[in-house]
Structure 1
Amino acid sequence: MPNLLNRQFNQPELNTHWCSDITYIRTVKGWSYLATILDLANKEIVGYATSESADTGLVINALASSISTCKPDMNKLIFHSDQGTQYKSRELRTYLKNRGIT
């Protein structure tokens, strides 16, 4: 996938450029995974999800949370990630395409 963001991390308009990453957290019950969605305009977390596995569903849940909260014009939204396996999955690409998210 082409890098449409091209390191332009300062965006002037809310809900047009979101980026995401997954991190893992050790807990007393084992590992937990956290996916966050960051709006590049104000650098605030607009959505997140946690799970016991770092799969594509984790990212989709974080995106769904963000969309529900922010209600962006999805035809104007660019979603950026490190293109790890969860982000390159067919399931996530289909989710984005069906909603008009680039």
Structure 2
Amino acid sequence: MRGHGRTWNRVASFFAILEDNCKGGETWFPYIDNTHSRRDDVHHLWRAHEDGGLAFRPVAGNALFWVNLHANGTGDDRSIHAGLTVTEGLKTAMNIWPRKFYD
């Protein structure tokens, strides 16, 4: 609820990287199938995370996009994610959340 008398949900997410002058700071999706991912390599945009799933390296000018909901409106566990610790430097990013309102 947002005080309007109606509820909403984030249908999808855009996560745009604005600044990547950092070490660490990956975005980790623990429930994404990583069986087809590339081996760890600093030149790749993603890697198989040691605890499962995929970790995406922050790259200025790039963005991640994912759909948060199944077609029936329930949450998709594959969209669960975490920002990993920036160990040095600065990472700046912006979220954009397309919303669906329910009356």
Same fold, TM exceeding 0.5? no
Structure 1 or 2, whichever has the larger Rg, is 2
TM-score norm. by structure 1 comes to 0.27
Determine which structure has the larger helix proportion and give its number: 1
| Structure with the larger RCO, 1 or 2 (CA within 8 Å, 6+ apart) | 2
